Amino acid sequence: MTPLSGARTAPVRVGLVVGQLGLGGAERQLFYLATGLDRGRFEPTVFCLSEQVAPYGARLEEAGVEVVPFPRRGHFDVTRVVQLGREVRRRGTRLLHAFLLDASAYAVLAAPLCGSPPVLASNRVCLSERNPLRRAFDRWALGRSDAIIVNSEEVLRFTSEQYGVPASRMRRIYNGLDPRPFAAAAGDRSARASLGAEADDLLVVTVGRIEPQKNPALFADVAERVVAREPRARFAWVGTGNGAVALETTLAGRGLGGRVRLVGSRANMPAVLGAADLHLSTSDAEGLPNVVLEAMAAALPTVATDLGGTREALGETGRLCPPGNAGALADAVLALLGDRGEREDLGCRAQERVRREFPLERMIRETESTYDECLHRRGIPEPGAAR
């Protein structure tokens, strides 16, 4: 039957594949993307490779995005490959976009079970794989994807060196952010007491999972050096993780319990950053850290280890130090705590930079363009185009 003149193709169904939907940078970018895609052209479904769907699962469904979780029975579970392939085929999904390396491997393995749709893989962190077998498997999966999205130039370089992926097969798409909630909360001190700081204290916040990648031992070393020299300094780590008990024990053993607090997860991150005087990151590996962008949007200066795309995010609006160097980090923290004028200047410039360089709309449009590219190469009609 000949389509009517002016009829348009239906939106392409896109499957976003992710390991879990808890609080995390990749999960946040997935949420922004899924809820921001042009629904006249793309219809997203989120395939979650575990039943850990809070908090983003409910938020996605409230926004009209279907979430399909699969029970997790082990670190690598072949039944999830079969389930993913079945659900992708049942929905007529035409393109798979995987977030992080684990999800990319599942998507590549599931593709032949559901008509071999294009697979867009991703790597979002410069984290070396210690297991040679696992590194070889990830290299295999990336090599069989149609394209790979990376979130910084440094991650692109790392992925090329670590996994042998030609730069021509990668697309660098910076993380995006809606800065408005953070800008609105800048300078709002109402959350300080809940973070362990009084009005006259100098509050340093670290945000993220308490795990080896974030180097909580280095955080403790920096905090100890700073509080020994600045009586008003207070530290708060916002987040949870498997390393929380060990970090709490370390802090208590050094007598820091009253001045360094682990405050758990917080839903209102703009309020947390607005209440602080400085943001600190002691990570050993990063991609393009979302929390750095959020701190910038809140006009909060950052001291961080010089890793991954952190330098690309900050530009000249923060202080970068060598990884693992507690002395350099502590000196940078102390210098900024002692100079309110410089903190305010860096914060203002950071706020302007994040608005200019990392808009959410750009991330979404560049991702849509990458979808179009993958679909075009496979001969799939451009979504939403007139027939």
The per-residue pLDDT for 5 is 46
In percent, the amount of the chain with pLDDT more than 90 equals: 89
Give the pLDDT confidence of 3-57 residue by residue, as tens digits: 444 555 799 999 999 999 998 889 999 999 999 999 999 999 999 999 999 999 9
Mean of per-residue pLDDT scores for the chain: 94
Does residue 163 surpass a pLDDT of 50? yes
Answer whether 106's CB lies under 8 Å from 79's CB: no
The per-residue pLDDT for 382 is 73
| Tokens 């921001």, located at residue | 36
Q: Specify the amino acid at residue 202.
A: L
Give the pLDDT confidence of 91-125 residue by residue, as tens digits: 999 999 999 999 999 999 999 999 999 999 999 99
Of 232, 233, 227, residue with least CA distance to 255: 227
Give the pLDDT confidence of 281-296 residue by residue, as tens digits: 999 999 999 999 999 9
The yes or no reply on domain 180-357 and CATH 3.40.50.2000 is yes
- How many Å apart are CA 184 and CA 270, to the nearest integer? 8
CATH topology agreement for domains 12-175+359-377 and 180-357: yes
Q: Domain locations in the chain?
A: 12-175+359-377, 180-357
Q: Which has the higher per-residue pLDDT, 135 or 345?
A: 345
- How many Å apart are CA 259 and CA 279, to the nearest integer? 16
The per-residue pLDDT for 257 is 86
The per-residue pLDDT for 29 is 97
The per-residue pLDDT for 385 is 59
Give the pLDDT confidence of 205-238 residue by residue, as tens digits: 999 999 999 999 999 999 999 999 999 999 999 9
- How many Å apart are CA 257 and CA 44, to the nearest integer? 46
CB atoms within 10 A of CB 90: 10
Of 8, 19, 16, 9, residue with least CA distance to 117: 16
The per-residue pLDDT for 384 is 67
Does residue 76 surpass a pLDDT of 90? no
The per-residue pLDDT for 8 is 59
The per-residue pLDDT for 9 is 77
Give the pLDDT confidence of 303-327 residue by residue, as tens digits: 999 999 999 999 999 999 999 999 9
Count of CA atoms in the C-beta half-sphere (13 A) of 8: 10
Answer whether 180's CB lies under 8 Å from 207's CB: no
Answer whether 114's CB lies under 8 Å from 88's CB: yes
Residues in a beta bridge with 120: 97, 147
Answer whether 307's CB lies under 8 Å from 230's CB: no
| pTM, to two decimals | 0.93
Topology (CATH) of 12-175+359-377? Rossmann fold (3.40.50)
| Tokens 């010089």, located at residue | 306
Does residue 167 surpass a pLDDT of 80? yes
